[in-house]
Structure 1
Amino acid sequence: MALVAIILPTNSDATLIPDAYIVEYSDKQQGDSILSSLDGLTHPYHIRQTYASPVFNGLSLHLSAASRNSTSNNNGSITEAIDNIHPILAYLYAHPGVRRVYPVRNVPRPQWVDRKDINETSSLPYDNKLTQLKGMYDQMNLTGAGVTVGIIDSGVDYDHPAFGGFGPAHKIKFGHNFVDPANDDEHAGSHRLENDPYDLCPGNDGGHGTHVTGIVSGVDMSKNFSGIAPNVTIGAYRIFGCTGGAAEDVVIKAMEMAYEAGTTWLGSVRMIGVPFNMLRSFIGCDIINLSLSVESAWPENPMAVVADRLAQKGAIVVTVAGNQGGQGVFMQTSPGSGTRALTVGSMENTFRYDKVLHASVFPNQSYPYALSTSTENMPDGKMLGIVFDEEKHVVDGCSNSTLEQASAHDKILLLRRGSCSYDDKLEIAKQFGAAGVLFFDEEASKDNHEEPLLTKTSSGTIPSAGIANNDATKLIKHYRSNTMTDIILSFPSKPEKIPVNGPLRISDFSSTGPTYELGLKPTITGIGSDVFSTLPRHNNGGWGILSGTSMASPQVAGMAALMLEWYRRKGITKLDPVFLAELMQNHAMHIPYDGTPEHPLRQGGGFIQPMDALQSTVHVSPGYLSFNDTANMQNVHQLRITNGGNSKITLDLNNRVSQAILPFNGSTGYTPSEPSARDNTSVSLVFTPPRVEVQPGASINVQVTIHLPRNESTPWRYQMYGGFIEMSHKGSNKVDASVPYFGVLGSVQDLPLFDAGYPYLTSSSDTSYNSSDPFIFNVTAQEEVPKIVYRLLTATARADITVLDERNTMVGAIDGGPYTYLDRNNLQDDDKHSSIEWNGRIVDPHDTSNNNTESILIQPGTYRLHMRALRLLGDPQNVSSWQEWISSPIMVVN
């Protein structure tokens, strides 16, 4: 019997769409029967989408309005509820031909992390030597010709010079427009037909799909601009309009449509006599890019499920890891949480465009700065003022006694980060007549000492900005040595191109894995920071620089197109996406972190190196190893090494460890650290054999055995250890292939689910109740209804809420449950906690699967709400795998 998937979003933009559901059939024949039965029901509904493909059979529908429990996060947005179960929904739950029912989420409109309005650049979007694109173009003559890439996004300005039009004679040959014409009429003044994916939205806050499409394939040599795969064919699917998000069922329909593009249908038979697998060699999008997401690290999310199945059928699905890098572990997103989805994290570019200041004493140097949150621009042509304390340190400006009128008046003060707030510093500086303030952090970590300090300030104060510690140090040193020379500061309005010095690094915004089922994500890394590409022509002249994993994903999609073209030249028309992901991970460049390789949960296999991947003769499968946690650990794995060359190879295996990720701060219990910290915890790996000889065309298995550090010497605090298994030619330091690995020291099932003080009972108007205060609930008037407020430290695959009478006997379950695949809460203001209201109705106490046809109003009496949640990786049949909470009394009256 089917079990409804109730998924509570943990992002205010990812709310559920009331009364909308995705229904998956067990097979197409069952679907025909179900549709016929629905036609015989008298209850109103309408079908939103239909699905009929080897990937997904089913439909999405919208039911007539029904009263619903309301489930919300603390900003008040409705996220899930069902009251009296709609007869059609009850019918679907009980039907043996229904495989699964999903509520429909709203997918938030994709956003970039940073934008710079620069429409002139003298360099390509990337360093083509670092990306290996120069070799792919010049030596291998690869351009993506013959490969089709589907882009599911906000549409595209296809009349941009970088694309040249739309239709069979152009690069962008086909597509679809899913946006409601009424929405476009309201916000854009007109609309396009269903087969026209043109982005017609006005203003400068859109253009996401045009930017993504340019990264994949745009070409405009007047700007010295070329996308990754300039000769691919593009299919554009416009799912985002000018405002708001897009429904999950629409995203899934676009995925199906991209996969099926060009398929000829004859009734219910597709090109009679031609096997489906043969069709896949010449129809449909070979690669589907989705630079979009909802925050869910569960592989069971419907978009993740469809992405995984598409990959099983041969489509290469490339998508984003997410932009929640500051929010700790388990912050991967869907559809990227799909097992076989090629999920892309972001690394920094080798250059960036920043606002810069110039100092008169250093005429040929530029210093990046970051305006404070309340500052629009800095005053130009002012003198720099620096004040030192008795210990010769630059003052922090937290005390009147540390400043002097002569050193501050009409100057831009340089102040170090200190014990008081930035607003306090600015108020004191203002009292001394300062024209502005530059802040720096002398305790910045080695990873941030070249980054401008980010500062949050209130409006109504003097202008301020942050600069890098390194740059502040240069100015201070010159000031000390040349006290008679004034330093005049200028702030040009146009950003400048700044080389990024030092080692490459993962972008701070790039989300950290793993999935909740301890799968490695991201898969691979691309450049997502400061990427120059196309925008709609009315938007900043048609060009701009954006940052986000949305920009890294199309880079990898374009590189996948070049790799696929290369294999097709060799006669391999269909490439297994899992093999391709392994190839990318085997031969990626490891991005460093503090002298070690960055953790695989931050970079996946590393930065994609497509030329190395194609030219190497070594292939290793699987592409990564997860040792799970200690309770579920598989301490022995097998790696299969294949020699695709013409001569024997001898490889030595080595364990290259990364710094471990610390998910929790010991001083704050099990609240996930945001962002996560690091330590030097590592594991030992034993390879059997440690050296292998592989004959041409042959494969050999290597056994990998893990040895954990002793808990006594290295206390297990859920450190997420990791690193790379490197394979090098005998006697050489050159790495021929590598495999990332990770695991967790500790049993994640022992992690608490509920934060201290949660759950608690309140009312719909947020009146608090302690354990002895009864909640008086007039179930007829419904003026104040009980509300459970909860905060999840750890995700749960299932939560149930039942009703207990005075003898602690369960009398029913509240409608709407069980709630499945809940993500953890975080420290962001809109996601610190979530809540569920109860309207006084219950369903059969022996069946919490929502297969009941109706609920009943509870009788007057005294009751308590009982919430239990399944611990991560827990066994639902084991009582100890659940964490429980019982509310204070609720006195139900009529």
Structure 2
Amino acid sequence: MRLFNSILLLAASSFIGLSNASFVTQQHTVSSHSASSALNNNYIIEFSGSNAETDKKKLADLLQDKFSDTSLTFGRLFNHDLMKGVSIQIGSSKGKDGPSLQSIASDEEEQQKLMNDIFKTISESGLVKNIYPIVPVQGPNTQVKVLSENNIDFGDVSPHLQTQVDRVHKELKNTGEGITVGIIDSGIDYTHPALGGGFGEGYKVRYGKDLVGDNYGSTSLVPQPDDDPMDSCAASTGSVGHGTHVAGIIAGKSDNFAGVAPDATLGMWRVFGCGSSTSDAVILDAVLDAYDTGVDIISISIGGFNGWPESSLGSVIQRVISKGVPVIISVGNDGRLGAFSTSSPGITPGAFSVASIDNNKYIASIFSVSGSSETYVYADSEPKVDDIPSGQLVAGDKSVGGDSDACTASTIPSDVKGNLALVQRGTCPFDEKANNLAQAGAIGLVVFDSAGEVALTPSVINAKIPVVGVSHETGLALVKAIKQGDIQLTFNGKEEVRTLPTGNTVSVFSSIGPSYEMGFAPNIAGIGGYVLSTLPQQLGSWGTMSGTSMSAPGVAGSVALYLKQFKDAGKDDISKPAYILEQLQNYASQVAHTNKNPKIETPFSQGAGLVQVYDALTQAPHVSPGHISFNDTINIEKTHTLKLTNNGDSIVSYQLVNNVSVSIEPYQDTTSYLFNEPAEFGTDAAKIRFSKKTIKLSPGKSVDITVTVIPPSIDPKLHIMYGGFITLKSQTKQTKDITIPYAGVVGDQRELPIYSNGTPHLTNATNPLSSYPIWGTNDTFVYDRKSNDSLPPTFMIRLANPTRHIASPVYNERGRRIGDAFVSLEYMARTTSTASGYAGTWDGKYYPYFFNLRMPLPLPVLPGKYQIGLDALKWLGDDDNENDREKWLSPVIQVK
């Protein structure tokens, strides 16, 4: 379930999102997620008053007096400066009134009406500011490679050279001592020697707690908190030691390893058990507790695909930031889904939204080929099936090298029996290839990528033989060798340090911005691809992971070094979160699009670039703001003002330059407007006019620079995403260049279609995952509420682009709008190519309108003919402007 904020669904009808999405809706003035997404009917009630304990008692008395036959359980009290509220679980009514003559009552319908009555009472109590359903949050999906060799110098794969951390340690003698970083994650093995060997006063891991317990998210959804954040989950649970890995990146320390801030103090707030999910309420609780503990920084490597920044968790994070605590969050791992693939809460305004850059070096598993002195790199499948055996390699398809290799049994040669089989990745799943080959007698599968320089990591579910992946180049070499004669592959578990072909470029998985509201995200980058760090000792002690989950703690460690440098000097004015982020952005290093294409990578992917900690700590000049968003063409702010301040003690001199980046071509075409997945890139560039082309500035002085954009002259229907970096090129040796990223879109986002694939569709399918009957414009859908055999009308939706709001008017036979089918649907993410879309069922009830006011309780429609509209607000559209809606009207629905 994705982490959304929106407003409460109090409808008798409901929408669900297929493939882990959900619709969300609005009622009253109370904001939250969809009620249908609430975890076991658990909610957080945020009070408007200043005393949560008093307000809780008043609310409890009110509800228990009016709903005495309903189970209402109050839980966690948030009597906090940043959140006044209480959690509540709403159970079923103990008594039933029976069905009305106008509708077919059911337990579900009665529960929905009960929920509606309860929330109407809550919202009209005068006590409540917001209602947030407690929703499940999936754990990070991160692949881990456990280190098996003991003779590797960890320094050979350290990313510190790329980020200047090595210089901060050596030249500034700054290792983050005295700074406390609070981590919200899956727990920690604090007994690991590199993490201090213990927990509590006097240890590196000094603070934190377990908010959930081991069983949470697997066998139980009931938290069993304690004061020990230990991660003792076994590999059999699917645990990869995510939190321990994150902690090592920030502050691990041993003879052969150093984190970014190796002498920093850590706190760990464990929000995942040994299962794969938690709830946003648990994360919220952890953030507040970390803040109360007095941590200097909070690091969060959690999120879900959704570009809307509105969320309950995001609101609290913003409040924490406003109190002076930097919050560093991963931007997401959905870069393969193209543009606008960021995650929440990683796009929270004011947060450090961190992209991932690949490490220059990595620890590779290698195999050898008979007759050759060269060794080749491979990657085990995820999850790993078993160790792949050595053996003869043969072609796994009669025409190996095609998209359909081993997709059907008929194309598999007979000589695969007893041998390893080689195929190219293609149109069918890796499991299908592996199991077809297993049926033919193969003992292992080697899959080569269809493109790319890095060894493929095949994803499998139920493969019956071991599967490994190699790069496209290695695969072609093996195909050639097979054609020349018999070859033997030897897999003996050896590892060695190799140069990564994609080193110092944006990781392929790193999410691409901006947010759906054109917010600048990501805004900074760290090393997240192939990062070595600590693992729980029961999982192998050391290993490599990749993800923005790794780049975020790297930046958190960098912020720890920054705070150590300036808090000790009493410079609190330049230690505020916004200033720190700007300083890191000012001196970040821009990476190339690829190592074969030296053009600058777009800011939509790398933010301001890869953090350069030493320069950020030692350079006094500062530019604010740290980035510029020009929005789309209609909402464009062509001119912005930059303020350059010389905080140093010598004169500085700069020349202003516009360094353009690659552009993004987000869509496949200008008809369907389906996203390119992955994104495609171009060379369309903007021009920038400066009010000053050269600057000379004395110590202690500031100067304003106005910058005006001239977007590229291209067809606005393409919605090209342009960007670049305004560079203040230093004219003095002792002063470094300063860069400010900018980005914008050519085109009007409001003109983009919301619906795709011909949807919305009206159907009667109960689980429309793939194919389903569709009622046409001239058809009539008959829904007999008195017949158990009559299926209710269901709407299928795919969204080409995101929408903030979908209205659902119900029209009677005379064409008059009598109310809404759904309370409303809000903050909806675009449908990706791998998702089935959204489905919603209408049960024949509506929210009536009287004197232009929507009533809070649904009523069953009278027998008759009706049509339902689904009117989607255009992207960045005005909710009060009917012209900003994409409207759809259903076929006639005859309700009996």
Question: Normalising by structure 1, what TM-score?
Answer: 0.84
Whole-Å Cα distance in 1 between the matches of residues 189 and 126 of structure 2?
46
Q: Per-residue deviation at 1:651?
A: 0.5
* 1:12 paired residue number: 20
Identity within the alignment, %: 30
* 1:837 paired residue number: 841
Specify which of 792, 807, 812 is matched with residue 805 of structure 1: 812
* 1:824 paired residue number: 830
Name whichever of 640-649 and 201-210 sits farther off: 201-210
Could you give the per-residue CA deviations for residues 710-766 of structure 1, whole angstroms, max 9, x where no partner exists? 34xx55411111111111113889961101111011001111111132111122525
Q: Per-residue deviation at 1:128?
A: 2.6
- Letter of the structure 1 residue corresponding to residue 584 of structure 2: M
Whole-Å Cα distance in 2 between the matches of residues 521 and 623 of structure 1?
12
| CA contact 2:145–2:545 (8 Å) conserved in 1 | yes
| CA contact 1:818–1:848 (8 Å) conserved in 2 | no
Specify which of 196, 200, 203 is matched with residue 170 of structure 1: 203
Give the 5 Å matches for 1:120-269.
Answer: 120=150, 121-124=152-155, 126-161=158-193, 162-179=195-212, 183=216, 194-204=226-236, 205-206=238-239, 207-221=241-255, 224-261=256-293
What CA RMSD, in Å, does the superposition of the two structures yield over aligned residues? 4.0
Q: Per-residue deviation at 1:569?
A: 1.8
| CA contact 1:8–1:822 (8 Å) conserved in 2 | no
Return closer, same or farther for 1:377/1:38 CA change in 2, 3 Å cut-off.
closer
Whole-Å Cα distance in 2 between the matches of residues 417 and 854 of structure 1?
54
Count of residue correspondences? 836
Residue 23 of structure 1 pairs with residue 24 of structure 2 = no
Specify which of 608, 613, 634 is matched with residue 610 of structure 1: 613
| CA contact 1:451–1:467 (8 Å) conserved in 2 | yes
Whole-Å Cα distance in 1 between the matches of residues 893 and 543 of structure 2?
57
SS of the residue aligned with 2:315?
helix
Whole-Å Cα distance in 2 between the matches of residues 758 and 891 of structure 1?
21
Name whichever of 736-745 and 800-809 sits farther off: 800-809
| CA contact 1:8–1:819 (8 Å) conserved in 2 | no
Whole-Å Cα distance in 2 between the matches of residues 885 and 163 of structure 1?
61
- Letter of the structure 2 residue corresponding to residue 285 of structure 1: V
* 1:523 paired residue number: 523
| CA contact 1:55–1:310 (8 Å) conserved in 2 | yes
SS of the residue aligned with 1:570?
coil
* 1:64 paired residue number: 91
Q: Per-residue deviation at 1:178?
A: 1.6
Give the 5 Å matches for 1:77-476.
Answer: 83-116=113-146, 118=148, 120=150, 121-124=152-155, 126-161=158-193, 162-179=195-212, 183=216, 194-204=226-236, 205-206=238-239, 207-221=241-255, 224-261=256-293, 284-363=294-373, 365-368=375-378, 378-382=388-392, 440=448, 444=451, 448=452, 450-453=453-456, 466-471=469-474
Whole-Å Cα distance in 1 between the matches of residues 863 and 414 of structure 2?
77
| CA contact 1:8–1:820 (8 Å) conserved in 2 | no
SS of the residue aligned with 2:142?
coil
Q: Per-residue deviation at 1:780?
A: 4.8
SS of the residue aligned with 2:153?
coil
Q: Per-residue deviation at 1:605?
A: 0.9
Residue 40 of structure 1 pairs with residue 62 of structure 2 = yes
SS of the residue aligned with 2:119?
helix
- Letter of the structure 2 residue corresponding to residue 818 of structure 1: S
| CA contact 2:378–2:468 (8 Å) conserved in 1 | no
- Letter of the structure 1 residue corresponding to residue 658 of structure 2: N
Return closer, same or farther for 1:46/1:462 CA change in 2, 3 Å cut-off.
closer
* 2:31 paired residue number: none
Specify which of 78, 99, 102 is matched with residue 51 of structure 1: 78
SS of the residue aligned with 1:552?
helix
Whole-Å Cα distance in 1 between the matches of residues 412 and 18 of structure 2?
50
Structure 1 unaligned spans of 5+: 68-77, 262-283
Could you give the per-residue CA deviations for residues 518-556 of structure 1, whole angstroms, max 9, x where no partner exists? 01111211111222222222222x322222111111111
* 2:568 paired residue number: 569
Q: Per-residue deviation at 1:24?
A: 2.8
| CA contact 1:331–1:513 (8 Å) conserved in 2 | yes
Whole-Å Cα distance in 2 between the matches of residues 813 and 386 of structure 1?
57
Residue 646 of structure 1 pairs with residue 649 of structure 2 = yes
Whole-Å Cα distance in 1 between the matches of residues 569 and 849 of structure 2?
62
Whole-Å Cα distance in 2 between the matches of residues 101 and 465 of structure 1?
48
| CA contact 2:532–2:543 (8 Å) conserved in 1 | yes
Whole-Å Cα distance in 2 between the matches of residues 175 and 398 of structure 1?
51
- Letter of the structure 2 residue corresponding to residue 46 of structure 1: T
* 1:267 paired residue number: none
Whole-Å Cα distance in 2 between the matches of residues 185 and 200 of structure 1?
14
Give the 5 Å matches for 1:529-548.
Answer: 529-540=529-540, 542-548=541-547
- Letter of the structure 2 residue corresponding to residue 584 of structure 1: L
Name whichever of 454-463 and 156-165 sits farther off: 454-463
Q: Per-residue deviation at 1:624?
A: 0.6
Give the 5 Å matches for 1:842-881.
Answer: 842-845=846-849, 852-881=855-884
Q: Per-residue deviation at 1:377?
A: 5.5
Whole-Å Cα distance in 2 between the matches of residues 64 and 599 of structure 1?
50
Give the 5 Å matches for 1:781-796.
Answer: 784-796=791-803
Structure 2 unaligned spans of 5+: 10-14, 23-36, 97-107
| CA contact 1:5–1:100 (8 Å) conserved in 2 | no
* 2:105 paired residue number: none
SS of the residue aligned with 1:642?
strand
Whole-Å Cα distance in 2 between the matches of residues 795 and 394 of structure 1?
38
Return closer, same or farther for 1:665/1:235 CA change in 2, 3 Å cut-off.
same
Could you give the per-residue CA deviations for residues 267-321 of structure 1, whole angstroms, max 9, x where no partner exists? xxxxxxxxxxxxxxxxx11111111112222111111222122111111101111
| CA contact 2:454–2:500 (8 Å) conserved in 1 | no
Q: Per-residue deviation at 1:201?
A: 2.6
Return closer, same or farther for 1:85/1:653 CA change in 2, 3 Å cut-off.
same
Could you give the per-residue CA deviations for residues 781-840 of structure 1, whole angstroms, max 9, x where no partner exists? 56622221111111111122232111121112235x222211111112xx3201122222
Whole-Å Cα distance in 1 between the matches of residues 831 and 487 of structure 2?
48
Name whichever of 639-648 and 488-497 sits farther off: 488-497
Name whichever of 225-234 and 720-729 sits farther off: 225-234
| CA contact 1:346–1:528 (8 Å) conserved in 2 | yes
Specify which of 766, 775, 781 is matched with residue 775 of structure 1: 781
Whole-Å Cα distance in 2 between the matches of residues 640 and 378 of structure 1?
59
Could you give the per-residue CA deviations for residues 388-443 of structure 1, whole angstroms, max 9, x where no partner exists? 99xxx99999899xx999999988777778999999999999999998776656x8
Name whichever of 624-633 and 160-169 sits farther off: 160-169
Q: Per-residue deviation at 1:9?
A: 6.8
* 1:629 paired residue number: 632
- Letter of the structure 2 residue corresponding to residue 684 of structure 1: K
SS of the residue aligned with 1:613?
helix
| CA contact 2:52–2:85 (8 Å) conserved in 1 | no
Q: Per-residue deviation at 1:670?
A: 0.7
Question: Normalising by structure 2, what TM-score?
Answer: 0.84
* 1:692 paired residue number: 695
